[in-house]
Amino acid sequence: MKNILFVASEGVPFIKTGGLADVVGSLPKCIDKKYFDVRVMIPKYSCIKQELKDKMKYKTHFYMDFNWKSEYVGILEAKVDGIIYYFIDNESLFTGFKIYSDNVIDEITKFSFFSKAALSALPLIGFRPDVIHCHDWQTGLVPVYLKERFQGNEFFRGIKTVMTIHNLKFQGKWDVKTVKSITGLPDYFFTPDKLEAYKDANLLKGGIVYADAVTTVSPTYAEEIKTAFYGEGLDGLLNARAGSLRGIINGIDYDDFNPETDKNIVCPYNAVNFRKEKIKNKRALQAELGLEQDDKKFMIGIVSRLTDQKGFDLIAYIMDELCQEDVQIVVLGTGEERYENMFRHFDWKYNQKVSANIYYSDELSHKIYAASDAFLMPSLFEPCGLSQLMALRYGTIPIVRETGGLKDTVEPYNEYESTGTGFSFRNYNAHEMLATIRYAKYVFYQKKREWNKMIDRAMAADFSWHVSAKNYQEMYDWLIG
């Protein structure tokens, strides 16, 4: 049996702000239990729902030197869907209504503590991982601390690390002096070939330099981040580590996202009966959101964090033009104020056509996947993207920009060969996007049989975890040797 420990800042069902939590919550369940024992470690945030906290059992605690203090480290444990979760507890650090704040020093302190505590806890929990699988900048110091102070200890010797990049935009950077003081790491680590980048200390960079393998969440993003446009300043390093860098596409949980058994939607359907049944979900959603009641309207769904990563500048630019056409647009999500207000404005201006739901609801997201005809995701960059996979699963045709995981998962429609599962455009250009939406709309209104055949193909595509889980297993095997 090989032991794998995921260390991450969020994971479903306990705490989620984005796709990272979905991956941490669903991938371990799909790794072969005959050969691997996969467990997960996350912080015990005070904002985790009480009913979930009630599932946790106290295991042990100790004190650890950190940031010039002796800090309490509690360890709790819970088992969900057959997976053991460990929680690192420290009430003063993991406090607040949200898990991330805008105060960079707080964030760096919190997650440096978490990374060190995660390693320090291992000898006490009776689980020695062969591989520690780290996710994003918040855990970038795990491979660094392992190298610095734990490798000398018999227990830790030979433990391998993987660093998975879910989003290169966030790196955890601050000035060297402060980070040195918080982390307690010696001068040795703060040079340009290690943690230093452009004069600052950079936690993700530490992880990329010291991990035994580096992965990201799609093959295309793995290539893109070696270029200046997508590399966020680390393209040089990623080129240097190209031999240890691979892209493994994310999957989604096919039980949670299943139009046939989905309890959130009015009318379940499948790949055989969607022609008659899917429409009932559209009717229900039009009624629920106060949109014009019309079966034939081309409904476009958007479920997203409202950040510039997701291409909302393009949408803002052509929204008035788009709203002159025969479409309905349903939006769900929260984020940057300018995008929240942009959608509120268009909801007010085109009330029968646009429904802006500026909050987050799991239930409404499922209703939108089921009800919409198309799903719009024109991202500026997209390491993988999960929503387009959910849309495909629900027979809702994605309209995407050809970047990162969107490029790897949505095959563009080819009208001559009758192939493809969606529509895509190449450049980050609002009118290129609009032309693509118009083309999709044309196929929807004028070539209904072709449209439905595209739904057949979309629903037949398989983005469950089983293929990608095998890729991770192969990597773990290769690392452990």
Applying CB under 6 A, which residues contact ligand GLC? 18-20, 23, 166-167, 217, 250, 382-386, 405
By C-beta, is 17 or 273 nearer to ligand GLC? 17
Q: How many CB atoms lie within 10 A of CB 276?
A: 10
Q: Kindly state the smallest distance separating residue 12's Cβ from ligand GLC, in Å.
A: 11
Beta strand spans in 44-195 (E)? 57-66, 69-80, 83-89, 131-135, 160-165, 173-175
By C-beta, is 93 or 377 nearer to ligand GLC? 377
By C-beta, is 226 or 353 nearer to ligand GLC? 226
Q: Residues near 379 by Cβ (< 8 Å), separated by ≥ 6?
A: 309, 310, 311, 385, 400, 401, 403, 404, 406
Strands, sheet with 327-332, edge to edge from the N-terminal-most edge strand: 354-357, 327-332, 298-303, 374-377, 397-401, 423-425
Q: Kindly state the smallest distance separating residue 217's Cβ from ligand GLC, in Å.
A: 4
By C-beta, is 159 or 163 nearer to ligand GLC? 163
CA 260 to chain centre: 24
Radius of gyration in angstroms for the set of CA atoms belonging to the chain, rounded to a whole number:
23
Q: Which long-range contacts (CB under 8 A, 24 or more apart) does 293-299 make?
A: 296/445, 297/326, 297/327, 297/328, 298/326, 298/327, 298/328, 298/373, 298/374, 298/441, 298/444, 298/445, 299/327, 299/328, 299/329, 299/330, 299/371, 299/372, 299/373, 299/374
Q: Kindly state the smallest distance separating residue 204's Cβ from ligand GLC, in Å.
A: 13
Q: Kindly state the smallest distance separating residue 165's Cβ from ligand GLC, in Å.
A: 9
By C-beta, is 21 or 176 nearer to ligand GLC? 21
By C-beta, is 140 or 385 nearer to ligand GLC? 385
Q: Kindly state the smallest distance separating residue 41's Cβ from ligand GLC, in Å.
A: 18
Residue nearest to ligand GLC (CB): 19
Evaluate the CA torsion angle 394, 290, 359, 314 in order and state its sign.
positive
Q: Kindly state the smallest distance separating residue 31's Cβ from ligand GLC, in Å.
A: 16
Eight-state DSSP code of residue 415: T
By C-beta, is 201 or 217 nearer to ligand GLC? 217
Can you tell me the distance from the alpha carbon of 352 to that of 331, in angstroms, rounded to the nearest whole number?
Answer: 13
Identify the CA nearest to 259 among candidates 453, 29, 15, 458.
458
Q: Are strands 423-425 and 397-401 parallel, antiparallel or unpaired?
A: parallel
**Could you tell me which residues are beta bridge partners of residue 245?**
214
By C-beta, is 56 or 163 nearer to ligand GLC? 163
Q: Kindly state the smallest distance separating residue 20's Cβ from ligand GLC, in Å.
A: 5
CA 315 to chain centre: 22
Q: To which residue do tokens 């940057």 refer?
A: 336
By C-beta, is 161 or 409 nearer to ligand GLC? 409
Q: Kindly state the smallest distance separating residue 318's Cβ from ligand GLC, in Å.
A: 23
The length of the chain is 481
Q: Kindly state the smallest distance separating residue 40's Cβ from ligand GLC, in Å.
A: 15
Identify the CA nearest to 162 among candidates 179, 142, 145.
142
Can you tell me the distance from the alpha carbon of 462 to that of 467, in angstroms, rounded to the nearest whole number?
Answer: 9
Q: Kindly state the smallest distance separating residue 291's Cβ from ligand GLC, in Å.
A: 29
Number of H helices, E strands in the chain: 18, 18
By C-beta, is 176 or 384 nearer to ligand GLC? 384
By C-beta, is 217 or 299 nearer to ligand GLC? 217
Q: Kindly state the smallest distance separating residue 190's Cβ from ligand GLC, in Å.
A: 28
Token pair recorded at residue 455 = 């739904």
By C-beta, is 20 or 185 nearer to ligand GLC? 20
CA distances from 159 to 42, 139, 203, 465, 481 (A): 19, 16, 20, 26, 12
Can you tell me the distance from the alpha carbon of 284 to that of 294, in angstroms, rounded to the nearest whole number?
Answer: 11
Q: Kindly state the smallest distance separating residue 24's Cβ from ligand GLC, in Å.
A: 9
